[in-house]
Structure formats: structure tokens, C-alpha cells
Chains A and B, each alone.
Chain A
Amino acid sequence: MKILVSVKRVVDFNVKVRVKADGTGVETANVKMSMNPFDEIALEEAVRLKEAGVATEIVVVSCGVQACQETLRTALAIGADRAILVNTDAELQPLAVAKLLKAVSEREKPQLVIMGKQAIDDDANQTGQMLAALLGWPQATFASKIRLEADRAVVTREVDGGLETDAIKLPAVVTTDLRLNEPRYVTLPNIMKAKKKALEVLTPDALGVDVTPRLTTLKVVEPAKRKAGVKVADAKALVDKLRNDAKVI
């Protein structure tokens, strides 16, 4: 079974994110970038499935600027067999990424696509769902457990009320939640081997995909600073404030 894993290059989760002075987006110059942690979990799952003898090949794909190659090399060091970069400097929105992944899926014909449920930069939580819709494949999102059987995947999902277990026919799209697994540390021999693995570079044009953004970002602002609190004299004053100022009761 072939598994396709998509990974996104994002601002590292340890970095304190700053908004650009002109309000057009988030500052990424000289900022540490890493693999989206949800995607790392997706890749870890694929590698475990391969180690368990269920998967035979893992192809990892990323869409974006040239520097995404670093993220793909990390993915190869974690255990992917080969990598594809869909190289573009254009702004990519979830729908465009879903279309690119659809084109790559049609080329690669995986039985399963696994990706993070969302990226920690814009938290859209859309790409997996859009990809499944575009391909006409079943989807299981927010997976906390994945079991593969002959022609179906049994996926436990984290939902508001608890856990839900779905069986979906393959090929399918699965998006991962935080508790699916704990990603491994990359080993030194695998870092060295990653260099020798194939990394193919494609373009949206070559895949026949128009990535033009459909949404316009008007402005990006920092969250409002938290205001200082006030001390209230007694319970009556508190209730009064909750009712009239905060308007929550």
C-alpha cells in the first residue's frame, strides 16, 4: 500500500509570532521554520504503518517556496521514501493546496492520504476535507487511532462528546489529531540517508492547477492586549459587573 503524506512548512511552535509592521501578514524573515506538528504526527503514523508491514511506500509532498525542501528532507529523515515539492512563491490558500494535492494524488495513486488536521500558522482546518471532496474519496478527520484492513480504514475520531469510530473505504483521506502518536526523534543515520533519497520538484503549472487566491486578506493584527483587572468590593458588585459590564449573566 502506498501512503501519501502532505507536510507544511510553518513558523516553529516555539517562536513568538509577530505581525508585520504593514499588517499584511506574519513576519517570517529570519524566523525559525519547522514542519507543522500535526503533519509530523501524520508522517509518524505512516512510518509506523510501514514498519508494521502494512504500508510499502511513503511519498511525502509539500507545496510552497524552495525552502520547503528542508522540511521535506526532515520528512525523509523521519522515514518517508521519496519527496515531492510543488514549488511556487505564490500565496497558497487551502483550496489551492487541496487542488495541488489532488493532482499529485492522481499521479501517485496512493491508497491513503494522511495529513495534519490543520496547520499551526493559519489554523484553517480545511485542506483535508477539501481534498477528499475534490477526489470524491471518503474522509475521516481528527484521527486518534488508525487501523488498516484489506480495503478499508478503521479510524477513531476525537469528537466533542468523546470518541467515534468510523470504517471508511480506501482510498481515503485521514487527518490527524494530537493524540494519534508521539513522533520519534530523528536518528543520525537517517539524517545521512535522507540526502540520498529522491526529491522531485514540480510546479502548479506542470500539474495544471490554478493557485490564484480566492480570498483577500484585508489586514492582520496582533490580538488585543489583555486589560488589567479590577478588584470588586463584594459579591453584589461582582454580579452587577457580570450582568451589566460583561453581560454574561
Chain B
Amino acid sequence: MSAYVAPLKDMRFVLNELAGLAEVAKLPRFEEATPDTVDAILEEASKFASEVLDPINLSGDQEGSKLSGGEVRTPRGFRDAYRKFCDGGWNALPFEHEWGGQGLPRLVSTPVQEMWKSSNLSFSLCPLLTQGAVEALLLRGSDALKQAYLPKMIEGRWTGTMNLTEPQAGSDLSLVRTRAERRASEYLISGQKIFITYGEHDLADNIVHLVLARTPDAPEGVKGISLFVVPKFIPDADGKAGRRNSARCASIEHKLGIHASPTAVMVYDQAVGYLVGEENRGLEYMFIMMNAARFAVGLEGVAIAERAFQRALAFSRERLQGRDLVAGGKTVPIIRHPDVRRMLMLMKSQAEAMRALAYTTAAAMDFAHKSGNPAERRRHQAYVDLMIPVVKGWSTETGIEIASLGVQVHGGMGFVEETGAAQYLRDARITTIYEGTTGIQAMDLVGRKIAREGGETAKEWIAQLKQFEAQLSKSNNENLVALRSQFAAGVQALADCVEFIVASSAKDPRPAFAGAVPFLKLMGIVAGGWQMGRAALAAERTLQSGERSFLEAKIATARFYADHVLVQAPALRNTVVNGAAGVMALSEDQFLAAY
């Protein structure tokens, strides 16, 4: 068995050497994020993740949340863990001081959230959804709504949900039908919402649903959707959870993974709701929060990859099978075998690359919010907008591959549930779907983020990559020399694709969209190679003063990444540039021609 241990050394290395924690701590209101405080936070969070959340992960998966009489019971240990989580003040970590939060940078909340997600993805979704709801209220809620809901939600005593999806309105929210009728100071909400994460549960005193609905005279489509707060219990005069609102859980889904996280069908029958911001602008508000939400799901990919790797590593060091290829002799642990090593290195190198990309993107989000210089804010925001679909799409797709490798390392023992390896694969499977599927991310990347602006931000980033390549070429380390050559080919592949996307989209959007997902993967791989290259350079620089074993492993891992992962970029380029015709070649009827 394997218990979760936060990769604190790698986290600190990425924070300090790659993501520039010291620079982020110089931004206004982030002065408290000094290295010693951040160390203490990571240390205590890792203890909590290992000792409280990890032990109820497997049992939570096996038991699942259960619905009876309209009420959901979370698995054993979840209530106690959630109470400890709130008592520890962890729920408040990312929020502003004025509402009772700790006001820490996203760069600091990111590794902490990675730990929650690694140790117990199902558990972590409850605070994540609350965070989304809090952000919506902070953004556009009236003062009265903020006063009534924010303090309790930030403390975690009340939790939040996001109600977007309806049976006929999934990726396409223009089809939302839930109605909102105006009354004096409130609205009456009626309709059905599905896939509502933690829509009903027994962890908190109240649940605050944020619901997308249409007023009777709203225009058709996305411009006629408004956002409402619909509490499970309507706050009374003292602000406490009072009268039961007519917002009910009709059922919870039987799912492939995240069994402990209750996914509710919610039925609103003239439920009392309060408008957030202005009518008909609900979807616009959702879009403002989208980067944060998609980033958070991308981080789930990193987290599950890390956890799957840890379990596979532990198993490979214990499982005795076969003999040493050269030395022969007694049966050896399977980590001695080259192919098992290859799988472990694929898991480790990509998990580290994804972590570095996620954390550096988190730092860019901090600069985009807090930098004193408006031009800097814009520059960082453009980079964040470009990178979010990659962090989301690439990290989650790779997260699934890594969780699958984790099962493979276990052999037959991975296919049975009791080893725990299978759970990560099942849990990871949702991450490429919710908050926008990989296809949606790739269309966002190719369409909105590249074609629409003529590839301006992407080209600026590519110029930065070329500068970095020049920096790499100064090193004589053979590993870095090898990495540089793969990286150069990757950057060229990326540049070719951006040219192709910009040029072809002007005439017809379909060729670029046909290769959008392969392009997203290519961009993730090259961005990951960039971060691994930066990591290797930093490791080389600090080799004499730092911890040798860790730093040498970092350089070797970067070299592996170059030879096994980065090397795929030119092939993906060919798919993107030449593959569109094949994608669209068949008529819809021809798909049936073989039957």
C-alpha cells in the first residue's frame, strides 16, 4: 500500500526556481507570502492531506455517497474531515482579507490545492465548488448578498454549487430553460439542473446554489441567461439557515469515478432566488470565472498523476518478479526492469512538467491581477488566457494516461480494485469532461486565443521560447544538449502550427478545428519541455549548493522527457497541418458504409 506524501521538495523547487515566488511576494498585499511562511503552510497542509484526507479516499470510493429521503449521506469520515478542514481555516486560504480570507497568492494556494486533490479528489470538489460560488458573489453580488453569504461560505460553514447544465443544455448553454419569475425583491426559480457537484450533502448547515435561469422576457440564446443565488435554507433575520427552500435533490448519479462526491439532479419548484448582478448577464459572469475554474481542473490532472505515480512507485519497489536482466540471481523488485522504469519515468517526468506549467501559470495569474503596471497586467493576462486551455486540456488528458500507466505498472493487481490504482484512473476520467471537454478547450485555444488575434500572443510566447533555446545552447551538459535539440524541433513544430491555424482560419475554420486537440497536446508537450528545460538549467546552476540527489534527478528527468515526450511534437505538427482532410473526408452516411 502507499500513503500520500506531498512532493514538497519538487513543489518548493518549482515555486522558487521556476515560478518566482519571491517576485510574487513583492506584489501589493502579498507581503505575507514569505518563503518561511509558505514553507510552514505547505508543511501543515501536507500533514493534513496525508493524515486526514488520504485515509478516507479509498473507503470513500468504495462506499460512495448515498441518497435517501431526499438527503445525501457522504461516506464515513467525510463529515469529520470537512469539520477539521474548516476548523483549520483551509477553506479561507485563497480569499481576500476583508471577508475573512487569508489573501494569499494563487501561487501559494495552488500547491495546497494540489495536495487536497492528490489525497482525495472527491473531497476536494466540495471546497472547490464553494470557491467558485464565492468568486461569483465577490464579483457581482450585491452588498446584501455578500453580507448574507460570504462570511459563512468562506469559513466553509455553508458550501456552494454551480448549476449550469440541464439535460438538453450541456456544452451549449444557450439551450438553458430553467425559468425565473420576478417577485418584489426576489425571483421564483423553476426547472431541473443536472450534474450538480455536492448539490446535496450532509457536510454543512446550508448549501448555496448558483443557478443559471431565464426571466420570462429574456432574449433567446446566451444573451438571455441570468445568474441567481438559491439557498437550500433561506437565511432568517439573524442570518442563520432558516426556512427550507424548494430546491430539492431528486437523485444522485451512479458514476465511473469520484464516487464519494455526490452529483445531484436538482429540482427547483418556485424556489426563492436572488439575482446576482444584472439580468441577462449570467453567462458573462460565468466566463469571467472560467479561467480559475478551468485552471483548477487542470490542477486535478497534475494531482491525480502525482498520486498514481506514488502508488505505482511504491508497488514497483515491493513487487518481486523476474530476475535482473544482466546479473540474474534472485527474484528482484520490478522497478529493476527497464520497461517498468520507462513507465515510471513517463509518469514522473510528465507529472513534474505539468506541475511546473500549472504553477508558473498561477504566478502569471497573480501578476495579471496585482501588478502595479497596467501593461504588465495586460501582458500576463494575455499569456494566462492563452495557457489556460492547455493547462486544463493537456494536464487532464495526460493525467488519465498516467493513471492508466499506474494500473499497468501493477499488472493484474492494478485491475482489481483493492490495490487502489484503478480508482485514480476512474477518478481522472471526469477531468477531461467537466468545465469544458478537451474538444471545447482546444476550440477555445485555436479559435478565440490564436486565430481571432492573428496569433499575436502565441507568437510572442514562441519568441520567448526561442530565446530560451538560445540560453539552453550555452550549456555543455550532455543532457541539456540533447534536450535543446528536441526542444528546438518542438518549438519549430509549434510555430508551423500557429502559422497554419492563422492562415487557414481566415478562409475556413474547419481545418484548424479538426486538428485542434492534437495541437493542444503539442502545445502542452512543448510548454512542458520548456519548463523541464528551465528546471534542468536551474538544477545545473544550483547543483553545487543544493541537494545533489534531487537536482541530478531533475536533470535526468528532463532528458528523459525530451527523448520520450518532447520528441512527439513534430509528429503532432504533421497531424495538425496535414490531417484535416482525413478528418472530414467521409460523408456522414459513409460512417455506416461498413454495416
The minimal Cβ–Cβ distance linking A65 to chain B, given in whole angstroms, is 15
- Roughly how many angstroms separate A194 CA and B41 CA in the complex, as a whole number? 11
CB-based contact B44/A195 at 8 Å:
no
In the complex, chain A residues whose CB is within 8 Å of the CB of B575: none
Stretch at the interface among A44-52, A69-77, A236-244: A69-77
CB-based contact A192/B37 at 8 Å:
yes
Pick the residue among A30, A70, A185 that contacts B44 (CB under 8 A): A185
The minimal Cβ–Cβ distance linking B520 to chain A, given in whole angstroms, is 35
Q: Which residue of chain B has its CB nearest to the CB of A191? A: B40
Q: Which residue of chain A has its CB nearest to the CB of B100? A: A189
The prevalent SS among residues of B at the interface is: helix
Decide yes or no: A189 and B47 within 8 Å by CB, A30-B547, A194-B40 being known contacts. no
The minimal Cβ–Cβ distance linking A199 to chain B, given in whole angstroms, is 11
When each residue 116-127 of chain A gets 1 if its CB lies under 8 Å from chain B and 0 otherwise, what string results?
A: 000000000000
CB-based contact A188/B41 at 8 Å:
yes
- Roughly how many angstroms separate A189 CA and B40 CA in the complex, as a whole number? 12
Stretch at the interface among B88-96, B288-296, B343-351, B552-560: B88-96
CB-based contact B41/A191 at 8 Å:
yes
Decide yes or no: A188 and B88 within 8 Å by CB, A30-B547, A77-B44, A195-B32 being known contacts. yes
Q: Which residue of chain A has its CB nearest to the CB of B40? A: A191
Q: Which residue of chain A has its CB nearest to the CB of B51? A: A185
Decide yes or no: A188 and B89 within 8 Å by CB, A30-B547, A195-B32 being known contacts. yes
Is A24 among interface residues, defined by CB-CB distance under 8 A? no
Is A28 among interface residues, defined by CB-CB distance under 8 A? no
In the complex, chain B residues whose CB is within 8 Å of the CB of A70: 36, 39-40
* A174-207 contacts to B (CB < 8 Å): 185-192, 194-195
In the complex, chain A residues whose CB is within 8 Å of the CB of B561: none
CB-based contact A188/B90 at 8 Å:
yes
Is B213 among interface residues, defined by CB-CB distance under 8 A? no
* Interface footprint category on B: 20 to 34
CB-based contact B47/A185 at 8 Å:
yes
CB-based contact A195/B88 at 8 Å:
no
The minimal Cβ–Cβ distance linking A31 to chain B, given in whole angstroms, is 10
* B515-567 contacts to A (CB < 8 Å): 547, 549-550
CB-based contact B40/A73 at 8 Å:
yes
Pick the residue among A30, A185, A192, A194 that contacts B88 (CB under 8 A): A185
CB-based contact A188/B93 at 8 Å:
yes
Q: Which residue of chain A has its CB nearest to the CB of B548? A: A30
- Roughly how many angstroms separate A87 CA and B83 CA in the complex, as a whole number? 39
Q: Which residue of chain B has its CB nearest to the CB of A76? A: B40
- Roughly how many angstroms separate A70 CA and B43 CA in the complex, as a whole number? 11
In the complex, chain B residues whose CB is within 8 Å of the CB of A190: 89
Q: Which residue of chain B has its CB nearest to the CB of A78? A: B44
In the complex, chain A residues whose CB is within 8 Å of the CB of B48: 185
- Roughly how many angstroms separate A191 CA and B547 CA in the complex, as a whole number? 27
Number of A interface residues in the complex (CB < 8 A): 15
CB-based contact A187/B40 at 8 Å:
no
Pick the residue among A30, A77, A185 that contacts B40 (CB under 8 A): A77
CB-based contact A188/B102 at 8 Å:
yes
When each residue 31-66 of chain B gets 1 if its CB lies under 8 Å from chain A and 0 otherwise, what string results?
A: 010101101110110011001100000000000000
CB-based contact B92/A195 at 8 Å:
no
In the complex, chain A residues whose CB is within 8 Å of the CB of B84: 185
* A63-91 contacts to B (CB < 8 Å): 70, 73-74, 77
Q: Which residue of chain A has its CB nearest to the CB of B89? A: A188
CB-based contact A185/B52 at 8 Å:
yes
CB-based contact A192/B32 at 8 Å:
yes
- Roughly how many angstroms separate A195 CA and B39 CA in the complex, as a whole number? 12
- Roughly how many angstroms separate A191 CA and B89 CA in the complex, as a whole number? 10
Interface contacts (Cβ under 8 Å), in number, total 50
The minimal Cβ–Cβ distance linking A221 to chain B, given in whole angstroms, is 23
- Roughly how many angstroms separate A70 CA and B36 CA in the complex, as a whole number? 8
- Roughly how many angstroms separate A192 CA and B38 CA in the complex, as a whole number? 10
Q: Which residue of chain B has its CB nearest to the CB of A32? A: B8
Pick the residue among A74, A189, A194, A195 that contacts B89 (CB under 8 A): A189
Decide yes or no: A192 and B44 within 8 Å by CB, A30-B547, A187-B89 being known contacts. no
Is B453 among interface residues, defined by CB-CB distance under 8 A? no
* A100-158 contacts to B (CB < 8 Å): none
Is B376 among interface residues, defined by CB-CB distance under 8 A? no
In the complex, chain B residues whose CB is within 8 Å of the CB of A77: 40, 44
In the complex, chain A residues whose CB is within 8 Å of the CB of B460: none
In the complex, chain A residues whose CB is within 8 Å of the CB of B39: 70
Question: Which of B36, B88, B93, B102 has the most chain A CB within a 10 Å cutoff?
Answer: B88
The minimal Cβ–Cβ distance linking B177 to chain A, given in whole angstroms, is 42
- Roughly how many angstroms separate A187 CA and B44 CA in the complex, as a whole number? 8
The minimal Cβ–Cβ distance linking A85 to chain B, given in whole angstroms, is 14
Q: Which residue of chain B has its CB nearest to the CB of A196? A: B32
Pick the residue among B37, B87, B549 that contacts A187 (CB under 8 A): B87
- Roughly how many angstroms separate A186 CA and B52 CA in the complex, as a whole number? 13
The minimal Cβ–Cβ distance linking A140 to chain B, given in whole angstroms, is 30
The minimal Cβ–Cβ distance linking A51 to chain B, given in whole angstroms, is 14
Q: Which residue of chain A has its CB nearest to the CB of B32? A: A192
- Roughly how many angstroms separate A186 CA and B547 CA in the complex, as a whole number? 28
The minimal Cβ–Cβ distance linking B3 to chain A, given in whole angstroms, is 10
CB-based contact B36/A73 at 8 Å:
yes
The minimal Cβ–Cβ distance linking A42 to chain B, given in whole angstroms, is 19
- Roughly how many angstroms separate A7 CA and B550 CA in the complex, as a whole number? 30
- Roughly how many angstroms separate A77 CA and B40 CA in the complex, as a whole number? 9
CB-based contact A191/B37 at 8 Å:
yes
- Roughly how many angstroms separate A77 CA and B90 CA in the complex, as a whole number? 14
CB-based contact A195/B37 at 8 Å:
yes
In the complex, chain B residues whose CB is within 8 Å of the CB of A194: 40
CB-based contact A192/B102 at 8 Å:
yes
* A21-42 contacts to B (CB < 8 Å): 30
In the complex, chain B residues whose CB is within 8 Å of the CB of A186: 40, 44, 47, 88
Question: Which of B37, B51, B87 has the most chain A CB within a 10 Å cutoff?
Answer: B37
The minimal Cβ–Cβ distance linking A151 to chain B, given in whole angstroms, is 35
In the complex, chain B residues whose CB is within 8 Å of the CB of A188: 41, 44, 88-90, 92-93, 102
In the complex, chain A residues whose CB is within 8 Å of the CB of B47: 185-186
CB-based contact A191/B44 at 8 Å:
yes
The minimal Cβ–Cβ distance linking B316 to chain A, given in whole angstroms, is 18
- Chain B: residues with CB nearer than 8 A to chain A? 32, 34, 36-37, 39-41, 43-44, 47-48, 51-52, 84, 87-90, 92-93, 102, 547, 549-550
- Known: A188-B89, A189-B102, A195-B34; 17 extra A-B contacts, CB below 8 A, are A74-B40, A77-B40, A77-B44, A185-B44, A185-B47, A185-B52, A185-B84, A186-B44, A186-B47, A187-B87, A187-B88, A188-B90, A189-B92, A191-B37, A191-B41, A192-B102, A195-B36
- Chain A: residues with CB nearer than 8 A to chain B? 30, 70, 73-74, 77, 185-192, 194-195
| A–B Cβ pairs within 8 angstroms, 24 of them | A30-B550, A70-B39, A70-B40, A74-B43, A77-B40, A185-B48, A185-B84, A186-B40, A186-B44, A188-B41, A188-B44, A188-B88, A188-B89, A188-B92, A190-B89, A191-B37, A191-B41, A191-B44, A192-B37, A192-B102, A194-B40, A195-B32, A195-B34, A195-B36
Question: What 10 A-B pairs have minimum CB-CB distances, sorted nearest first?
Answer: A188-B89, A30-B547, A189-B89, A187-B89, A186-B44, A187-B88, A191-B40, A185-B88, A185-B48, A191-B41
